[in-house]
């Protein structure tokens, strides 16, 4: 395998970007994390190394494996440093113009056969691909949070995605240990397409007095076997995130089932965003996530 | 503590047998009414085979199984229910059948005996109208399979008297289940939330969002659900879901409950899911 095939560039050093970089270094790829300033880049690299160190402590990786994987991650603020990447994975904030601009600038830096992956959760893959002069190389690859722990990646082709790019993407994701499902370039792909109306309907049921937050959570976990009731889950996801994703889906689909119910706006206005602020539907003594 | 000791169950089908097992396992005597001896025997066989499965898996001792069976008394004569503290109706999901039977049972049991329905698709308030003293009536909605599912919805009818719901909550706790008190709305709470989600998935599958397998995989891995929506529909039975969501649609005219065209067609074609090997993920109905 050439060094280009073994090098991955991740755009965006936030939660998703550093999570995806953790996945690729763990699978043996040299990975460059790009962000706008040194502080963000350093934080992203630290997040990757911190996760790997913890994996070693928990016995999920040997000390040697963790050290090797840690050595494979580097950071940069210069796009030109990404020239050798065989796969570029975009995981910046959800802004269409910014994503398109990045792909357009990378066209002149990377090789013509470099894959462009976008981790967008709510924007159109086709719309983002239009930023590249070679939209046939752009594929939607939607990871779940936290990326190092969740097996699923939703794969969605844009209108102009070439079959070679699709097939190479499935192969790449298998090589980093992910399970792929193939879906269409439609708002929310599969998981958010069904999760957002579900959560909204649970919030409406609460507002309509069909149950209490406790009784609805208990009924859903007890009768449907979900790992978390809808309100516990919303507190983990964050009410602000739910509001953003739901609003974006609504703006594209114009179907009221995607629109966040008024209770969400009130909770966001009050700063009750969920676990991260210590209060959402429930109150928390601490703001730890996933028991970490 | 529950003041309910003698329980009658109407109907020894899948749900009836499951409820009988749960109640008998709690140490209570259970009288089960069926239309004829053949059906009563079939119900007893169903219960016995389920209990035998528990013995084989080491969940139950042989003497435990025999003790449960000894507390179960199948009957075909409604007058045998006279001494019941609580009657749980679990016959076929047809309002006319349930109303007729509930009326006859109400005439036999004591005036203050509680009567509940295990309907999932019909209005509890409407069925309450079939019994004398409807203030003693409510819904007690067990999920299938009843011995395994922890939640029981306690449904307050418009007529349910003060104290009735509290007595039922205490009873549900006494038989080892988790009660959730809900309003008498189509689908109550769980199915009220579940049916629009399942209909939405069917419509998007029909609109070729992804293969049935990939939709299920995405939901299982992405959300950690035990079952994806299409394999869940095959398990529930497409005919059962179609009937329930149609009833909810008729009661609300809310389009989220409207049975999607593909569901209607699969039911019309006789594709009922796992029970006849034809559904979204199995057999000929698998349109992938």
Structure confidence by residue, pLDDT tens digits, A48-106: 999 999 999 999 999 999 999 999 999 999 999 999 999 999 999 999 999 999 999 99
Q: Which of B172, B180, B211, B255 to mutate to test the interface with A (most CBs of A within 10 A)?
A: B180
* pLDDT bracket for residue A291 (50, 70, 90): very low
Q: Locate the chain A residue with the closest alpha carbon to B203.
A: A194
**By the CB < 8 Å criterion, does A278 face chain B?**
no
* pLDDT bracket for residue A292 (50, 70, 90): very low
Structure confidence by residue, pLDDT tens digits, B25-76: 999 999 999 999 999 999 999 999 999 999 999 999 999 999 999 999 999 9
* pLDDT bracket for residue B288 (50, 70, 90): very low
Q: Which of B30, B29, B31, B27 is nearest to B77 (CA)?
A: B31
Domain ranges within chain B, ordered by starting residue: 6-183, 191-276
- Region B137-156: mean pLDDT is 95
CA distances from B86 to B36, B106, B115, B167 (A): 22, 11, 6, 10
Give yes or no for residue A1 having a pLDDT over 60: no
**By the CB < 8 Å criterion, does A199 face chain B?**
no
**By the CB < 8 Å criterion, does A182 face chain B?**
yes
Q: Locate the chain B residue with the closest alpha carbon to A214.
A: B180
* pLDDT bracket for residue B241 (50, 70, 90): very high
pLDDT value of residue A5: 67
pLDDT value of residue B195: 98
**By the CB < 8 Å criterion, does B200 face chain A?**
yes
**Which CATH number is A7-183 given?**
3.40.50.720
CB-closest option in B193, B215, B227 to A190: B215
Say yes or no for a CB contact (<8 Å) between B218 and A211.
no
Residue ranges of chain A assigned to CATH 1.10.1040.10: 192-277
pLDDT value of residue B2: 85
Q: Locate the chain A residue with the closest alpha carbon to B143.
A: A223
Minimal CA separation from B83 to chain A, in Å? 32
C-alpha B201/C-alpha B195 separation (Å) is 10
C-alpha A249/C-alpha A259 separation (Å) is 8
Structural contact between residues A9 and A29, judged by C-beta atoms closer than 8 angstroms: no
Q: Which CATH architecture has domain A192-277?
A: Orthogonal Bundle (1.10)
**By the CB < 8 Å criterion, does B151 face chain A?**
yes
For the question of residue A226 being annotated catalytic, the response is no
pLDDT value of residue A49: 98
C-alpha A159/C-alpha A2 separation (Å) is 30
Burial bucket for residue B66 (CB in 10 Å: 0-12, 13-18, 19+): exposed
**By the CB < 8 Å criterion, does B183 face chain A?**
yes
Give yes or no for residue B202 having a pLDDT over 50: yes
Locate the DSSP E strands across chain B.
6-10, 29-33, 72-75, 86-89, 114-117, 137-142, 151-156, 178-183
Percent of chain A with pLDDT over 70: 96
Strand order in the sheet with B6-10: B72-75, B29-33, B6-10, B86-89, B114-117, B137-142, B151-156, B178-183
Say yes or no for a CB contact (<8 Å) between A216 and B151.
no
Residue ranges of chain A assigned to CATH 3.40.50.720: 7-183
Structure pTM?
A: 0.92
CB-closest option in B143, B197, B209 to A184: B209
B191-276 matches B6-183 in CATH topology: no
Q: Which of residues 218-237 of A touch B (CB under 8 A)?
A: 218-220, 222-228
CATH of B6-183, one of 3.40.50.720, 3.40.50.10490, 3.40.309.10, 3.40.50.1970: 3.40.50.720
CATH of B191-276, one of 1.10.1040.10, 3.40.50.300, 3.20.20.140, 3.40.50.720: 1.10.1040.10
Q: Which of A185, A202, A224 to mutate to test the interface with B (most CBs of B within 10 A)?
A: A224
Give yes or no for residue A132 having a pLDDT over 50: yes
**By the CB < 8 Å criterion, does A257 face chain B?**
yes
What's the mean per-residue pLDDT of chain B?
Answer: 95
Burial bucket for residue B202 (CB in 10 Å: 0-12, 13-18, 19+): buried
Token couple for A104 = 């357009």
For the question of residue A136 being annotated catalytic, the response is no
Token couple for A30 = 């040299």
How many secondary structure helices (H) and strands (E) does chain B include? 11, 8
Structural contact between residues B262 and B209, judged by C-beta atoms closer than 8 angstroms: no
pLDDT value of residue B74: 97
C-alpha A239/C-alpha A274 separation (Å) is 6
Structure confidence by residue, pLDDT tens digits, B165-197: 999 999 999 999 999 999 999 999 999 999 999
Say yes or no for a CB contact (<8 Å) between B218 and A184.
no
CA angle (A89 as vertex; A42, A72 as ends), nearest 5:
50
Q: Which of B222, B226, B260 to mutate to test the interface with A (most CBs of A within 10 A)?
A: B222
Say yes or no for a CB contact (<8 Å) between A201 and B229.
no
Contact list in B for residue A142 (CB cut-off 8 A) is: none
C-alpha B223/C-alpha B245 separation (Å) is 24
Tokens 């840690």, located at residue: A70
- ipTM of predicted complex: 0.94
Residues of B forming the active site: 120, 141, 153, 191
What's the mean per-residue pLDDT of chain A?
Answer: 95
Structural contact between residues B199 and B261, judged by C-beta atoms closer than 8 angstroms: no
């Amino acid at each position: 395998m050439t060094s280009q095939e073994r090098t991955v560039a991740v755009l965006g050093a936030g939660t998703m970007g550093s999570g995806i970089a953790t996945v690729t270094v763990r699978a043996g790829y040299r990975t460059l994390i790009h962000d706008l300033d040194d502080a963000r880049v350093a934080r992203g690299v630290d997040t990757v190394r911190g996760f790997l160190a913890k994996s070693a402590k928990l016995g999920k990786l040997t000390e040697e494996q963790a050290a090797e994987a840690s050595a494979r991650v580097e950071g940069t603020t210069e796009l030109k440093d990404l020239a050798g990447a065989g796969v570029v994975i975009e995981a910046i904030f959800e802004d269409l113009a910014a994503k398109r601009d990045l792909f357009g600038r990378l066209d002149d830096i990377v090789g013509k056969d470099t894959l462009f992956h976008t981790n967008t959760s709510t924007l159109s893959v086709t719309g983002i691909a239009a930023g590249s002069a070679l939209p046939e190389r752009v594929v939607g690859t939607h990871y779940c949070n936290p990326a190092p722990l969740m097996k699923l990646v939703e794969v969605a082709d844009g209108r102009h995605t070439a079959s070679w790019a699709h097939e190479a993407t499935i192969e790449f994701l298998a090589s980093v240990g992910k399970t792929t499902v193939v879906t269409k370039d439609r708002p929310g792909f599969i998981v958010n397409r069904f999760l957002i109306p579900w959560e909204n309907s649970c919030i409406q049921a609460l507002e309509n007095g069909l149950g209490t937050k406790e009784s609805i959570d208990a009924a859903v976990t007890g009768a449907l076997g979900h790992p978390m009731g809808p309100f516990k889950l919303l507190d983990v996801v964050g009410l602000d995130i739910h509001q953003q994703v739901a609003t974006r889906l609504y703006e594209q689909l114009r179907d009221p089932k995607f629109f966040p119910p008024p209770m969400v706006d009130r909770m966001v206005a009050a700063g009750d965003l969920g676990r991260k602020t210590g209060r959402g539907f429930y109150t928390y003594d601490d703001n730890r996530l996933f028991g970490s | 503590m529950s003041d309910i000791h003698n329980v009658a169950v109407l109907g020894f089908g899948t749900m009836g047998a499951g409820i009988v097992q749960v109640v008998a396992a709690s140490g209570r005597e259970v009288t089960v009414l069926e239309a004829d001896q053949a059906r009563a025997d079939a119900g007893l066989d169903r219960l016995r085979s389920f209990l035998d499965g528990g013995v084989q898996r080491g969940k139950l001792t042989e003497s435990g199984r025999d003790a449960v069976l000894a507390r179960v008394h199948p009957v075909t004569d409604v007058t045998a229910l006279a001494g019941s503290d609580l009657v749980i109706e679990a016959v076929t999901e047809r309002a006319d059948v349930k109303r007729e039977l509930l009326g006859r049972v109400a005439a036999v049991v004591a005036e203050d005996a509680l009567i509940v329905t295990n309907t999932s698709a019909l209005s509890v308030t409407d069925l309450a109208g079939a019994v004398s003293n409807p203030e003693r009536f409510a819904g007690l909605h067990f999920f299938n399979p009843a011995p395994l599912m922890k939640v029981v919805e306690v449904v307050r009818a418009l007529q349910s008297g003060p104290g009735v719901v509290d007595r039922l909550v205490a009873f549900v706790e006494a038989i080892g289940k988790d009660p959730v008190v809900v309003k008498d709305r189509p689908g109550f709470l769980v199915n009220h939330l579940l049916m629009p989600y399942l209909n939405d998935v069917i419509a998007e599958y029909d609109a070729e969002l992804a293969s049935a397998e990939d939709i299920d995989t995405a939901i299982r891995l992405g959300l950690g659900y035990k079952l994806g929506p299409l394999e869940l529909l095959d398990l529930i039975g497409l005919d059962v879901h179609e009937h329930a969501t149609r009833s909810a649609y008729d009661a609300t005219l809310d389009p989220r409950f409207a049975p999607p065209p593909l569901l209607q067609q699969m039911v019309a074609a006789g594709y009922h899911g796992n029970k006849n090997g034809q559904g979204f993920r199995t057999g000929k109905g698998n349109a992938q």
